[in-house]
Chains A and B, each alone.
Chain A
Amino acid sequence: MRYALRRLEFFAVTLWAALTLNFILPRLMPGNPAEAMLVRFRGRVSLQAVEQMEAAFGLHPHTSIFQQYFEYLSNTAHGDLGTSLSFFPTPVGKVIMLALPWTVGLVGTATVIAFLLGTLIGMLAAWRRGGIFDALLPPTFIVVSAIPYFWIGLLLLLVFSFVLQWFPLGFGYDLTDQINLSWSFVGEVFAHGFLPALTIVVTSIGGWILTMRNTMITTLAEDYVKMARAKGLSPVRIMLNYAGRNAILPNLTGFAMSLGFVISGAIAVEIVFNYPGLGFMLLTAVNNEDFALMQGLFLLITVAVLVAILVADVVTAVLDPRTRESS
């Protein structure tokens, strides 16, 4: 119970911190860029629309900062994130919903593949200390982890799209096509998503391999593993059910905590490939000084990471009897 409460506190505080950062940032900056942008916009749209946007930002000049803060919180709680400037007059929420499935599909698939593959390789590397996996993979991935995500994307783009022309040049589907549910469209989505997904897998897998290898080395020295060996159990069973199952738990926690990093990398990858997800939209928002959209995206990405951590928490609780007993 105590553990669950602590986690609840953590989620609430993180959410509050993200909301408050969104509120404070425009007010900390000299000259308040959001206000400046609204002034610039005043001539172009109806007064009503400007007032709506001011309300969404909580920028009514005659109210106190606390009133503005609560107004902003209540607007956000009602799902009113303001109106996007770059896609005027579509509300920010709707704009984000257009991009969300692309990112969830791409980052979700790539991250799960990277995690499973990385954990498996790390397990094998630790199991066969001094074998090929153990000797080659960790140093390789140390170097790979030092390469910017987006540059690996550029490299793959250069090799596979420009030189070999195996894959299309970017975006989520062929621009000549409409979004539909045919098999040919699914194929298109796969072809466009392959290189971005590969980039994310290549750049994030090293972390999983190293953590898994290092924890697995510790687990393999435990008495229950020696016991299992003494009983003459099959090596595969010892590796998977005895050492692996216990070593995977810290890895899972690490997985949850580092999702923020993965998302950050994925955003850069989307920008390289012009992939129509949240990251690419964030860049569009920055280039158009569309602060409402920018804040909405930041909030949504933070919430997405929190949800993923929650899922990892639940999975850990299912896998680890100790967390269940203590609750």
Chain B
Amino acid sequence: MAVQVLTNQEVAAPEARESVLRNLAHAVARNRKALAGIALLTFFVLVAILAPLISPYDPNKLAFQQMLQPSPQHLLGTTGAGQDIFSQLIWSTRETLVLAIVAGVMATVISVIVGVTAAYLGGAWDHALNLFTDVFLVIPTLPLMIVISAYAQNHGLGVLIGVIVVTGWSYGARQLRSQALALRNREFLEAARVRGERPSYIIVFEVLPNMTSLIVAIFLGAALYSVLAAAVLQYIGLGDSSDLSWGNMLYWAQHNGALLAGSPWWVLAPGLCIAALGGAFALVNYAFDEIGNPALRPVKRS
């Protein structure tokens, strides 16, 4: 997750915003990475919505023989408790996707508040908020997440999301701060200040709209982080193990010694899904960066 990106997007004046959006749509349509990522995301959203229709069995039904090998009846075999793994995989899409989006949005909102406020207010505020961001950036996230969830005792979805948001906002805040700093002295902001607008108005209506593409990129990064963080926490047993999610499937597979017992699919399938969903977020994110920063686009050799 140490992917650092160059973010020197050209910042457009407000009146040019509409054409920027149109250009962005064109650029996305021409970028193969963006298209692949968006296709994957759409696929998972569809699976999550249509889960009751496409899932062959009730994912919690303990009606089958335990540890069955893959067969036409059970495409991925059955679990140690006799549930159909393929049905579990389909239903699990829902929790993972909701978690990625909710935690991603919440972390992004905190990044925006902290990062943009720091840059805009400047001085001692900037110093303090920046220090605060750096501290959270450096404190190792997984141990902190583990300690918080262990103390919380309650391993519900709310705690999981809370832990991920607390540990996941700092990276975005840092990037937003540097872009907001670059914007600070632009003429249109100067004009707003001369007009006598309040700082809150300037931040919300003048600064933020000009940072849309970076905010989207930060959301995508935060969503990817949420998917991975939730998977780790659930895998080591700090989620609600009765929920259906890919991380919990891995927890139960590990708990039942799936690899030793010769059921590799129980481990492989949820991991592949996590990787595909995470990969979708990462692809769109990288594509956004390429679109924003032409220097990074692939070069065609003649």
Cross-chain contact B301 with A130 (CB below 8 angstroms): yes
Return chain A residues, CB-CB under 8 Å to B296. 214, 217
Interface status of B129 (Cβ within 8 A of chain A): no
Cross-chain contact A207 with B275 (CB below 8 angstroms): no
Cross-chain contact B271 with A151 (CB below 8 angstroms): yes
Contact residues, B225-270 vs A (CB, 8 A): 227-228, 231-232, 235-238, 250, 259-260, 264, 267-268
Interface status of B278 (Cβ within 8 A of chain A): yes
- In the bound assembly, the distance between CA atoms of A291 and B150 in angstroms comes to 9
Out of A142, A154, A257, name the residue touching B137 (CB < 8 Å). Answer: A257
Contacts A260-B141, A302-B139 given; does A289 touch B150 at CB 8 Å: yes
Out of B3, B140, B275, B295, name the residue touching A218 (CB < 8 Å). Answer: B295
Cross-chain contact A268 with B142 (CB below 8 angstroms): yes
Interface status of A229 (Cβ within 8 A of chain B): no
Interface status of A195 (Cβ within 8 A of chain B): no
Out of B231, B280, B299, name the residue touching A151 (CB < 8 Å). Answer: B231
What's the minimum C-beta distance from A44 to chain B, rounded to whole angstroms?
A: 21
Q: Mark B148-161, 1 if CB is under 8 A from A, else 0.
A: 10111100000000
Return chain B residues, CB-CB under 8 Å to A206. 3
What's the minimum C-beta distance from B76 to chain A, rounded to whole angstroms?
A: 15
Contacts A33-B151, A142-B283 given; does A264 touch B138 at CB 8 Å: no
Interface status of B274 (Cβ within 8 A of chain A): yes
Cross-chain contact A260 with B299 (CB below 8 angstroms): no
Contacts A257-B137, A267-B143, A302-B139 given; does A214 touch B2 at CB 8 Å: no
- In the bound assembly, the distance between CA atoms of A302 and B150 in angstroms comes to 18
The number of residues on chain A lying at the interface, defined by a beta carbon within 8 Å of a beta carbon of chain B, is: 76
Cross-chain contact A148 with B228 (CB below 8 angstroms): yes
- In the bound assembly, the distance between CA atoms of A230 and B135 in angstroms comes to 45
Return chain A residues, CB-CB under 8 Å to B259. 154, 157-158, 162
Out of B153, B227, B236, B282, name the residue touching A29 (CB < 8 Å). Answer: B153
Interface status of A227 (Cβ within 8 A of chain B): no
B174: nearest chain-A partner, CB-CB = A257
Contacts A134-B298, A263-B142, A305-B138 given; does A210 touch B4 at CB 8 Å: yes
Which of B142, B153, B228, B259 has the most chain A CB atoms inside 10 A of its CB? B142
- In the bound assembly, the distance between CA atoms of A308 and B3 in angstroms comes to 19
Q: Count CB-based A-B contacts (< 8 Å).
A: 192
Cross-chain contact A257 with B143 (CB below 8 angstroms): no
Return chain B residues, CB-CB under 8 Å to A147. 271, 274-275, 278-279
Return chain B residues, CB-CB under 8 Å to A282. 143, 146
Interface status of B144 (Cβ within 8 A of chain A): yes
Contacts A143-B282, A147-B275 given; does A13 touch B147 at CB 8 Å: no
Cross-chain contact A145 with B282 (CB below 8 angstroms): yes
Interface status of A320 (Cβ within 8 A of chain B): no
- In the bound assembly, the distance between CA atoms of A259 and B143 in angstroms comes to 13
Contacts A25-B148, A158-B264, A217-B296 given; does A148 touch B2 at CB 8 Å: no
Interface pairs A-B: 10 shortest CB-CB:
A207-B2, A146-B278, A264-B142, A258-B2, A151-B271, A130-B301, A130-B299, A146-B279, A147-B275, A260-B140
A-B contact pairs, 26 of them (CB 8 A): A10-B131, A25-B148, A29-B152, A29-B153, A130-B298, A130-B299, A135-B298, A142-B279, A142-B286, A143-B283, A146-B280, A149-B232, A151-B274, A151-B275, A206-B3, A210-B4, A214-B4, A254-B2, A260-B139, A260-B141, A268-B142, A268-B232, A282-B143, A286-B146, A298-B143, A305-B139
Interface residues of A (CB under 8 A from B): 9-10, 13-14, 17-18, 21-22, 25-26, 28-29, 31, 33, 129-131, 134-135, 138-139, 142-143, 145-151, 154-155, 157-158, 162, 204, 206-208, 210-211, 214-215, 217-218, 221, 250, 254-255, 257-265, 267-268, 271, 282-283, 286-287, 289, 291, 294-295, 297-298, 301-302, 305-306, 309
Known: A21-B139, A146-B282, A158-B264. 11 other contacts (CB 8 A): A130-B299, A139-B33, A151-B231, A151-B267, A207-B1, A210-B3, A214-B5, A214-B296, A257-B137, A301-B143, A302-B143
